[in-house]
Amino acid sequence: MTPTGNRLEWHETERHDGASVREFTIHTGARPVTGVLWSGDGSTPGAPLVCYGHGASGTRHQRPIPDIAAGLCRSHGYFGLSLDGPVHGRRQVGPGGRDSFWPEWQREGTAADMVRDWRLALETVSGLAEVGAGPVGYWGLSMGTIYGAPFVAAEPRISVAVLGLMGLVSEPAHYKPVIEAAARAIACPVLFIWQLEDELFTREQCLALFDALGSTDKRLHANPGLHPAVPPEELEFSTAFLTRYLSGTPLGRDPVFRVSE
């Protein structure tokens, strides 16, 4: 049983690039929470843990999450926690991906439900003796920010976040006050990644969301290209940004991210 009385079920365990990847489901009174726990051979109780939020077209395993998570596990002994979105992966609804996400995003309460899932998963995993309650970071772009920003705002344990590929949108109407309030409530250091020719969110929307962030330690990285064309060096910097605040590692070129051939 989990610390909250829900049931944690482990599934298969695999290896990815030097890291252990354990699939799990948390059975709750509402919808199940499905995800993976990443760990390295050097991960010890109380080591930093990074939560990873994927995009609307993917699942808990959407790249570059496996590469970043495995790299931080392998090189720094971190833990990683990646969850399926509300209608994605092991809890897919309809065709999954963006086709299922767009109507889900229109539903009032979708952000609150996903924040509840994230906080339950973090509490459950941190309650495991082999993981413990160490420092926590967050990494999530696009839909990973749609749900991640409210989670970062609501979870006091998160001390650093990588967000982006998202703007302060006017539709759906119920979501704008949610994301705006979340942004203003975020006080931890934030790296915000922006694609200048993003076809989903305008420049004005992205800048408005960055400006709304309440953190006094925030930086904006802008790159040319469409929504999914985040350059590998930006992903490298994001891992360095996380380790700076979770481990005290100086900012610079972090070698843990490996670009796939």
| pLDDT interval class at 188 (50, 70, 90) | very high
**Domain residue spans in the chain?**
7-247
Q: Is the confidence at residue 10, as pLDDT, over 50? A: yes
When the pLDDT of each residue in the chain is averaged and rounded to a whole number, the result is: 92
Q: What is the pLDDT of residue 224?
A: 96
Q: How far is CA 37 from CA 79, 200, 205, 250, in A?
A: 7, 30, 33, 26
Tell me the mean pLDDT in the region 249-258: 53
Q: What is the pLDDT of residue 166?
A: 97
Q: What is the pLDDT of residue 2?
A: 55
- Take residue 151 and report the two structure tokens written for it: 């989670």
Q: What is the pLDDT of residue 68?
A: 96
- Take residue 38 and report the two structure tokens written for it: 């990443």
Tell me the mean pLDDT in the region 173-200: 96
- Take residue 123 and report the two structure tokens written for it: 């509490």
Tell me the mean pLDDT in the region 82-104: 94
Q: What is the pLDDT of residue 29?
A: 83
| pLDDT interval class at 241 (50, 70, 90) | very high
| pLDDT interval class at 122 (50, 70, 90) | very high
Tell me the mean pLDDT in the region 97-105: 94
The H or E element spanning position 25 is strand 19-27
Q: What is the pLDDT of residue 254?
A: 44
Q: What is the pLDDT of residue 11?
A: 96
Q: What is the pLDDT of residue 80?
A: 98
Rounded to whole angstroms, how far apart are CA atoms 177 and 174? 7
Tell me the mean pLDDT in the region 102-106: 95
Q: What is the pLDDT of residue 17?
A: 85
* pTM for the model: 0.93
Q: What is the pLDDT of residues 72-83, one digit of tens each?
A: 999 999 999 999
Q: Is the confidence at residue 50, as pLDDT, over 80? A: yes
Report the percentage of the chain scoring pLDDT > 70. Answer: 94
Write the class of the CATH domain 7-247.
alpha beta
Q: Where are the alpha helices (DSSP H) in the chain?
A: 65-76, 97-105, 110-126, 143-146, 148-154, 176-185, 203-212, 232-247
Q: What is the pLDDT of residue 18?
A: 86
